[in-house]
């Protein structure tokens, strides 16, 4: 890991490493040494990754919030299941309103959720939702942690989720986060029962109570203790009072659509609690903050609005009273039935740090804490929003006193455990003092990638920073400009500017140090560095991965980053300042600079990656047994800063050949893409998988993997790497010849690529096509995922689709959310706002009408076609329909009513209308054979002899 090494006194005991995040919080990270234990540590500050702080985190508003934090030792950890589950209003109130140190533990990254913003699914969607939650966290003012488990589909029960994840795997990670962050209070949005709905939610509710019970037990997960962590027992545990519907039947479980007894299980005391649960704490989230200018609920909803992939974004509520109600499940401190805050009965003053000393004499500690507290209280009294620098002398004195106290505690006769506990909280205060001191002067640091010309600093009067490249590659040389400013009239000495990289990599950075100078009166300095990336530089990529989408947890590829959102970015600038003989530091991740039409200048953290990214259009697919050849489209993306020439070839199964066998490629500049098309001739294809790998060679190196950039415009992107291997499975699949298919793309899916692999001629239908184009030329029109949620033109021209069906066409509607529940079909139907899902991908499927044309031609569909599915069977099943719709399949989860509304077929006029809730959009990219065979039959329907024969029969009957 790379961090700014403080010049402060080293503490010679194994402690948690603290870092200051971009939210102004203090987060816990760890640095293992060779034998896996945590290293004895110095303070390490993790620099913010965002180019600029939020408006509420600038100027006097930022300083006032830091003073609030300095005045309390309150700390809280909230546990949830998925991104967007969190009670952001409460998080914001506690962090920004009460000054608490707040962390959020999200069990998984939402990999199997919906995505209305981009075609990213599974692990790529997990990265999208990771970045969305990190964007929201900036508004909440919290630090973010994750466990290693993944969202492997909609889970209906806690038992189902636990069977995939295993209790110990989830609990171990959750306990580790508690031992890292050491909160006084644990909270959760969920209680661990049917009122939570989703099984993942129920696990999160249980885990919040389980970590309260077990994190302080050294016998639980002793490997964490051996690694250097210490047990920690939070003092109180709360959960939000459930909002589930309750009637005489009990509490409604929206996951199973069943009623359950209205009660809550107390996992801490192992007993049932009666319903309704008391609201012991009511958090006034609608309270207006005069410094921030909004209520905590409003600010949190601004953040929640960045979590768009599930629903396109949220709205900001009008001002007014809003509350969050929490029930207390346990407290180790005195607490009444009605509490004013989560921290009632806990000494959250700075002097309360002395309560961590249980056996030794805390007298010296109380005296020094009282002195430090006086500095903070005096700074709060002298706070002036027009002159924030007035607090600087007091903050400098407080920082100096805190540093001295850390040294005194380390040298004291307190036990090792007491030193660990006390110094953890003192290090938090030390880091908060440093941050506040920088804010009092409104100091800023902006490191950006520069060109190799000396005229790189921003143009005077315009503040424009020249565009740069986005990805650094091994061996590359480039410049970084670090812009530092003190707009205040009080001088601050700039002692040193550094560029820091990972400690385990030897980056060449010159100069390494810069002579000290005085910053004052808005006269910035620009410091320039020349950087050479080492040949063995690691790439900016997730520290976690899994072998396939069915694995319900990630393998941790780099243990030092466990529980963190992502691996750190590679290059950080740090400035060391001195004021009144007190040293403090400010840092920021080096940013790349580029322009995006509509967004303007965009700064994103500089990342490292390969000279060439080699990828195939799809990682999995099928090969009809009768295929004579099939195409493979390889994409070579160059990150070389200039021209590049190389060769590309395929590694093939024995006996297979390609044309060409090998070919040259060339790119002109950084960012160029070259598509290389191979025609592969297979040999003796059987119903089994085969691997074809694209290999590019350039400058003496081979490249066998590529990356996709997950995300969408306005969201900070992140790269997901995968091998440049196409796994193709031999499948006995046929399709009608010379099909002409129209496709209406929705929120994004990879069904079109699947159709192309079947040899289908595909046309994407745009708004003019739907409004006035000739639809009759298409044999079938497929509607993509969530089309009715994102395509205004489709909704407006839906009647033209029905006319197309009436005249003999076939329309197939794929997975759509309740936006579709407006009778867009030829006959009435009902989905409901809470539609059924069948989450067990192995659930038994019954074919209700085996003689239906859908199952007969050109492929005979049977039970085998429903084997090997991934993630789920389907979602958004119809609940009711006109009898002119014919249900074709039935499936259900355990204890779920039979679901027949997943594949509905209706004749309308001369054509057919099909609604399909089965998750083809998940199966096809994973190469599931049966999904291809069923899809082939659906798109072939208009040429199906049986289909046309029945139509002729209907017409004959009408004529008689």
Name residue 4's beta-bridge partners: 45
Residue 813 near residue 908, CB atoms below 8 Å: no
Give the Cα separation of 932 and 924 in Å (integer): 7
At 625-657, the pLDDT tens digits run 999 999 999 999 999 999 999 999 999 999 999
- CA torsion sign for 635, 638, 642, 645 is negative
Give the Cα separation of 291 and 57 in Å (integer): 11
Residue given tokens 């490292």 in the structure block: 608
pLDDT-derived band at 424 (thresholds 50, 70, 90) equals very high
pLDDT, mean of residues 486-493 = 96
From the CB of residue 255, how many other CB atoms can be counted at a distance below 10 Å? Answer: 25
pLDDT (0 to 100) of residue 84? 96
Residue 382: which residues within 8 A CB-CB, separation 6 or more?
A: 390, 391, 394
Candidates 407, 410, 421, 432; CA nearest to 229 is 421
pLDDT-derived band at 398 (thresholds 50, 70, 90) equals very high
Q: Read off the tokens for 753.
A: 């690529």
Give the Cα separation of 536 and 658 in Å (integer): 33
Residue 56: which residues within 8 A CB-CB, separation 6 or more?
A: 62, 65, 96, 139, 292, 293, 294, 299
pLDDT, mean of residues 912-927 = 95
Residue given tokens 């909803």 in the structure block: 301
pLDDT (0 to 100) of residue 748? 86
Residue given tokens 């949190």 in the structure block: 300
pLDDT (0 to 100) of residue 462? 46
pLDDT (0 to 100) of residue 618? 85
pLDDT-derived band at 895 (thresholds 50, 70, 90) equals confident
Give the Cα separation of 602 and 780 in Å (integer): 42
Give the Cα separation of 885 and 913 in Å (integer): 9
pLDDT-derived band at 957 (thresholds 50, 70, 90) equals very low
Residue given tokens 């805050």 in the structure block: 341
Give the Cα separation of 870 and 892 in Å (integer): 15
pLDDT (0 to 100) of residue 40? 31
pLDDT-derived band at 665 (thresholds 50, 70, 90) equals very high
Give the Cα separation of 645 and 897 in Å (integer): 60
- Helices 59-70, 363-382: crossing angle, 10 deg rounding: 160
Name residue 3's beta-bridge partners: none
Residue 803 near residue 831, CB atoms below 8 Å: no
Do strands 492-500 and 471-472 pair parallel, antiparallel, or not at all (unpaired)?
A: unpaired
pLDDT (0 to 100) of residue 513? 66
pLDDT-derived band at 18 (thresholds 50, 70, 90) equals very low
Evaluate if residue 596 carries a pLDDT over 60. Answer: yes
Q: Is the peptide bond before 193 cis (omega within 30 degrees of 0)?
A: no
pLDDT (0 to 100) of residue 123? 96
pLDDT, mean of residues 781-798 = 96
Q: Both ends of the chain: CA-CA distance in Å?
A: 82
Evaluate if residue 268 carries a pLDDT over 80. Answer: yes
Do strands 903-908 and 880-881 pair parallel, antiparallel, or not at all (unpaired)?
A: unpaired
Residue 175: which residues within 8 A CB-CB, separation 6 or more?
A: 211, 214, 215, 220, 221, 224
Residue 938 near residue 780, CB atoms below 8 Å: yes
Candidates 500, 566, 595; CA nearest to 719 is 566
pLDDT (0 to 100) of residue 516? 84
Q: Read off the tokens for 292.
A: 């921030």
Residue 184 near residue 148, CB atoms below 8 Å: no
Q: Is the peptide bond before 660 cis (omega within 30 degrees of 0)?
A: yes
Give the Cα separation of 801 and 516 in Å (integer): 72
SS3 617: coil
Q: Read off the tokens for 809.
A: 């066409």
b/e code 677-688 from CB counts within 10 Å (16+ = b) = ebebebeebeee
SS3 165: helix
- Helices 167-181, 199-214: crossing angle, 10 deg rounding: 50
Give the Cα separation of 346 and 474 in Å (integer): 52
At 704-722, the pLDDT tens digits run 999 999 999 999 999 999 9
Give the Cα separation of 51 and 282 in Å (integer): 36
Give the Cα separation of 327 and 735 in Å (integer): 59
Give the Cα separation of 667 and 657 in Å (integer): 26
pLDDT (0 to 100) of residue 466? 86
pLDDT-derived band at 45 (thresholds 50, 70, 90) equals low
Candidates 636, 647, 650; CA nearest to 699 is 647
State the DSSP code for 47. P
- CA torsion sign for 272, 277, 278, 281 is positive
pLDDT (0 to 100) of residue 835? 93
Q: What percent of the chain has pLDDT over 90?
A: 86
Residue 643 near residue 674, CB atoms below 8 Å: no
Q: What percent of the chain has pLDDT over 70?
A: 93
CA angle 412/31/174 to nearest 5° reads 95
Q: What is the pTM of this model?
A: 0.90
Residue 25 near residue 142, CB atoms below 8 Å: yes
Give the Cα separation of 559 and 536 in Å (integer): 19
If DSSP states are collapsed to H, E and C, what string results for 680-718? Answer: EECCCCCCCEEEEEEEEEECCEEECEEEEEECCCCCCCE
Give the Cα separation of 229 and 31 in Å (integer): 11
Residue 614: which residues within 8 A CB-CB, separation 6 or more?
A: 634, 635, 636, 637, 648, 694, 695, 696, 703, 704, 705, 706, 724
pLDDT-derived band at 667 (thresholds 50, 70, 90) equals very high
State the DSSP code for 529. E
b/e code 264-281 from CB counts within 10 Å (16+ = b) = bbebeeeeeeebebebbb
User: Quick one: residue 781, left, alpha or beta (phi over 0 = left, psi -120 to 50 = alpha)?
Assistant: beta
Give the Cα separation of 780 and 587 in Å (integer): 57
Do strands 911-916 and 880-881 pair parallel, antiparallel, or not at all (unpaired)?
A: unpaired
SS3 395: helix
Half-sphere exposure of 326 (CA within 13 A, CB side): 29
Residue 210 near residue 186, CB atoms below 8 Å: no
């Amino acid at each position: 890991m790379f961090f700014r090494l403080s010049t402060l006194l080293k503490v010679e005991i194994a402690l948690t490493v603290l870092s200051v995040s971009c939210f102004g919080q203090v987060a816990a990270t760890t640095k293992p040494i060779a034998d896996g234990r945590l290293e004895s540590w110095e303070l390490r500050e993790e620099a913010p990754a965002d180019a600029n702080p939020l408006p509420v985190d600038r100027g006097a508003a930022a300083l006032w919030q830091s003073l609030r934090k300095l005045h309390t030792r309150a700390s809280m950890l909230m546990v949830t299941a998925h991104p967007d589950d969190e009670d952001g209003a409460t998080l914001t109130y506690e962090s920004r309103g009460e000054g608490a140190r707040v962390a959020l533990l999200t069990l998984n990254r939402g990999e199997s959720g919906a995505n209305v913003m981009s075609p990213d699914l599974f692990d790529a969607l997990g990265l999208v939702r990771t970045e969305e939650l990190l964007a929201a966290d900036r508004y909440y003012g919290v630090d973010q942690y994750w466990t290693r488990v993944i969202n492997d589909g909609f889970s209906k029960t806690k038992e189902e989720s636990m069977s995939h994840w295993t209790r110990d795997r989830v609990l171990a990670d959750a306990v580790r986060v508690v031992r890292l962050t050491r909160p006084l209070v644990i909270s959760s949005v969920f209680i661990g029962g049917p009122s939570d709905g989703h099984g993942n939610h129920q696990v999160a509710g249980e885990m919040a109570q389980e970590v309260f019970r077990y994190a302080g037990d050294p016998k639980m997960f002793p490997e964490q203790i051996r690694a250097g962590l210490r047990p920690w027992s939070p003092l109180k545990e709360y959960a939000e009072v459930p909002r589930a519907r309750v009637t005489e039947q009990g509490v409604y479980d929206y996951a199973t659509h069943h009623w359950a007894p209205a009660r809550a299980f107390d996992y801490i005391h192992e007993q049932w609690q009666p319903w309704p649960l008391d609201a012991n704490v009511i958090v006034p989230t609608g309270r207006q903050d005069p410094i921030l200018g909004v209520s905590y609920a409003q600010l949190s909803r601004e953040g929640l609005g960045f979590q768009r992939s599930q629903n396109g974004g949220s709205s900001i509520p009008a001002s007014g009273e809003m509350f969050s109600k929490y029930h207390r499940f346990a407290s180790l401190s005195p607490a009444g039935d009605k509490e004013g805050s989560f921290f009632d009965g806990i000494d959250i003053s700075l002097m309360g740090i002395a309560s961590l000393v249980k056996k030794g004499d805390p007298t010296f500690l109380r005296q020094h804490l009282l002195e430090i507290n006086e500095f903070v209280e005096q700074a709060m009294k002298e706070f002036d929003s027009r002159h924030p620098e007035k607090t600087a002398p007091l903050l400098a004195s407080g920082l100096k006193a805190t540093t001295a106290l850390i040294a005194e505690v380390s040298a004291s006769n307190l036990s090792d455990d007491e030193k660990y506990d006390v110094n953890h909280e003192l290090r938090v205060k030390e880091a908060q003092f440093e941050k506040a001191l920088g804010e009092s002067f409104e100091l800023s640091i902006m490191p950006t990638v520069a060109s190799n010309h000396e005229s790189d600093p921003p143009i005077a009067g315009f503040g424009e920073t020249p565009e740069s490249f986005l990805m650094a590659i091994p061996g590359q040389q480039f410049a970084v400009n670090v812009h530092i400013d003190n707009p205040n009239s009080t001088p601050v000495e700039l002692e040193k500017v550094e560029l820091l990289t990972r400690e385990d990599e030897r980056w060449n950075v010159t100069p390494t140090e810069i002579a000290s100078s005085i910053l004052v009166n808005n006269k910035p300095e620009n410091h320039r560095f020349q950087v050479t990336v080492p040949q063995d530089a690691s790439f900016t990529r997730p520290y976690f991965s899994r072998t396939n989408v069915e694995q319900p947890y990630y393998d941790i590829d780099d243990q030092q980053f466990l529980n963190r959102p992502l691996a750190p970015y590679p290059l950080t600038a740090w400035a060391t300042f001195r004021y009144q003989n007190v040293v403090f530091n400010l840092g920021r991740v080096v940013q790349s600079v580029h322009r995006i039409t509509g967004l303007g200048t965009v700064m994103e953290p500089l990342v490292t990656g390969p000279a060439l990214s080699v990828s195939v259009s799809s990682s999995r697919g099928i090969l009809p047994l009768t295929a004579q050849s099939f195409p493979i489209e390889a994409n070579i993306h160059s990150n070389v800063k200039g021209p590049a020439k190389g060769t590309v070839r395929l590694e093939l199964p024995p006996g297979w050949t390609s044309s060409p066998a090998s070919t040259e490629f060339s790119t002109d500049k950084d960012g160029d893409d070259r598509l290389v098309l191979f025609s592969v001739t297979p040999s003796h294809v059987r119903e089994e998988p085969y691997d074809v790998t694209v290999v590019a060679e350039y400058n003496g190196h081979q490249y066998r993997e590529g990356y996709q950039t997950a995300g969408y415009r306005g969201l900070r992107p992140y790269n997901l790497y995968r091998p440049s291997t196409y796994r193709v499975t031999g499948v006995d699949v046929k399709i009608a010849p010379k099909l002409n298919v129209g496709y209406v793309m929705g929120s994004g899916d990879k069904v079109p690529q699947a159709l192309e692999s079947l040899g289908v001629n595909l046309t994407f239908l745009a708004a003019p096509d739907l409004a006035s184009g000739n639809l009759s030329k298409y044999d079938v029109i497929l509607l993509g995922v969530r089309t009715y949620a994102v395509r205004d033109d489709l909704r407006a021209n839906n009647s033209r689709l029905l006319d197309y069906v009436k005249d003999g066409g076939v329309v197939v509607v794929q997975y759509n959310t309740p936006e579709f529940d407006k009778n867009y079909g030829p006959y009435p139907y009902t989905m409901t706002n809470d539609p059924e899902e069948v989450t067990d991908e192995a659930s038994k499927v019954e074919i209700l009408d085996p003689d239906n044309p859908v199952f007969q031609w050109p492929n005979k569909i049977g039970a085998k076609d429903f084997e090997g599915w991934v993630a789920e069977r389907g979602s958004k099943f119809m609940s009711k329909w006109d009898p002119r719709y014919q249900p074709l399949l039935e499936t259900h989860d355990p204890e779920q009513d039979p679901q027949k509304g997943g594949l509905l077929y209706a004749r309308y006029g001369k054509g057919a209308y099909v609604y399909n809730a089965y998750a083809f959009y998940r199966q096809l990219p994973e190469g599931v054979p049966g999904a291809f065979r069923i899809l082939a039959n659906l798109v072939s329907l208009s040429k199906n002899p049986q289909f046309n024969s029945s139509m002729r029969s209907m017409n004959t009957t009408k004529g008689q």
